[in-house]
Amino acid sequence: MTRSFLLQPVDAWFFRDGRPYNQSESNQTGVVSLFPPHAPTVLGALRAALARANGWGGDGSWTRVPGLESILGNGPSALGALRFRGPYLARRASDGTHELLWPLPAHVLGVHAADTWRPETLLTPSANTVPSDIGDVHVPVPAHGRAAASKLTGTAPTWVTSKGLSAIVEGRIPEVDQIVPASALWRHELRVGIRREQDTRTTGPNAMYSPLMIRLRRDVALAAELGGIPASWNPPSEYIPLGGEARLASCTSRAISLEVSRPPIEHIRRTRRLIVVHLAPARFARLPVPGSAMPDMPGTRVVCACLPSPTWIGGWSSIDRGPVALTPHVAAGSVWFCQLDRDAVERVLCLHDTYVGEHRAHGFGHIVLGAWPEPHENIQSRKLCPQCQCQAPISAAAPVRCELVLLEAKCKKATPSPAVLRPQPFFVPSRSSSPAVSPAVPLEGPGGDRPAQGDANVVAVHGDGPVRVRDQLAAQT
């Protein structure tokens, strides 16, 4: 049985990262809480709450209670029969339902206007290669030319609604009202505390501390899903401890769907290209390199990627009574551009909204698939071609003709249109204004042909010289 839970703070929350936070040390002032919490924190709180609701007294190991270990497992690695999904941010709508918010994919760039960040373009692999320290590589370049490349920048931390995510996986730019900044979801709240001796009720030197806790907006909560719970089990109590200082969270069972919409399947089948978007951090034994397959996705070949800085995740072992070593994870919002082998298309399409990498039962490695953005200024949206129903991009200049701009190939069933504009040269934004890039293998079309050198898709590189990617790859492993 699978149950969905909604977690809301009774007061403020505090979640530690990997920095030391010990008494008598100098780093006791302004310690900032991590948010959202990582999956092991929320999963551990729900496991303990279920154990208490079904016979565990809270002291010692719950393995002494018959029937608990087979379901809940034992320790941070062994989960028994449980399968976790989340945590994700949820925001209450005007009708009382909760909509999920997802990490904004890293290939979405925009511009700052007043106090608002407005999405302007999606990154897509360059048609030609660029010299780098590991050879000639493809790099992500803007697919739409609505703003100068020098003004484009990413924004973090930022979330996107389910409708906005659907637009992105279809290769479209999300609307401004579908982008949700962190300031609209929570704020930091300074607290000051002092340690007091239990026996003497007095304090001593180096006893004061001041963390920056998380204060959620009134309509914001955490959503999580836990599978493998027996139907006969009691649900967790209404209030459970969560995070630092065992601060309370209201825990309610809600029918919340954590699924995302399907990608443009026909377009991916025809082009044999897709993007892999991480909705949760992922742990790989080895980071994919250019030309290699994505982990657990045979038949794919990595072309390039938009990778934010790695997320370091540890935890706490209730068995060893000590911290779990920090390990680097591919950050949520990371995007991989991949090509597909002809015989792997259907198999890979089945991996949409599933998990890759290590510790998948813990909620790590949640991915969705999407379409490569088409590099053309005039593409407004992806619609069905009225002549052949092939879902090729429809140009604003020729709304009834379909075109595959990247390969300069027209739909065979549609009549060529002389009004279709050829794509203009694109520019690679400087490294200070774009996500980190990963090298790539030569681009190929659906038939295995490389784009001709010197055609309209010429990449003009500017900034501070050839792109260097070796250090970025090393930082992720």
Of 371, 412, 369, 419, nearest in space to 390 by CA: 412
Residue-averaged pLDDT of the chain: 77
With b meaning 16 or more CB within 10 Å and e meaning fewer, what string describes 144-175? bbebebeebbbbeebbbbbebbbbbbbbbbbe
Does residue 159 have a pLDDT over 90? yes
Q: Please give the C-alpha separations between residue 449 and each of 303, 357, 364, 444, in angstroms, as whole numbers.
A: 15, 31, 36, 5
Does residue 393 have a pLDDT over 60? no
Say if residues 219 and 91 touch (Cβ distance below 8 Å): yes
Poorest-pLDDT segment among 187-191, 292-296, 355-359: 187-191
pLDDT at 54: 93
* Cα separation, 333 vs 367, whole angstroms: 10
Residues 135-157 have pLDDT tens digits of 788 888 888 755 566 678 777 78
Q: What is the mean predicted confidence (pLDDT) over 214-229? A: 93
Q: What is the mean predicted confidence (pLDDT) over 113-131? A: 86
pLDDT at 410: 38
Does residue 355 have a pLDDT over 60? yes
Does residue 396 have a pLDDT over 70? no
Say if residues 468 and 432 touch (Cβ distance below 8 Å): no
Residue 457 φ/ψ, nearest 5 degrees: -85, 65
DSSP state of 13: B
Does residue 474 have a pLDDT over 80? no
112 sits in which H/E element = strand 108-113
pTM for this model (two decimals): 0.77
Query: Residue 225 — very low, low, confident or very high, per pLDDT cuts 50/70/90?
Result: very high
pLDDT at 5: 93
Say if residues 63 and 69 touch (Cβ distance below 8 Å): yes
Start-to-end C-alpha separation, the chain: 36
Q: Any residues with CB less than 8 A from the CB of 375 and at least 6 apart, and which?
A: 124, 127, 141, 143, 144, 405, 406, 423, 426, 457
Q: What is the mean predicted confidence (pLDDT) over 156-180? A: 91
Residues 248-268 have pLDDT tens digits of 999 998 877 777 878 899 999
* Cα separation, 121 vs 264, whole angstroms: 19
Residues in the chain: 477
Does residue 443 have a pLDDT over 50? no
Residues 410-440 have pLDDT tens digits of 344 443 333 333 333 333 333 333 444 443 3
420 residue type, one letter: V
- Kindly report the CATH number that applies to the domain delimited by 2-101+183-253: 3.30.70
Query: Residue 242 — very low, low, confident or very high, per pLDDT cuts 50/70/90?
Result: very high
pLDDT at 27: 56
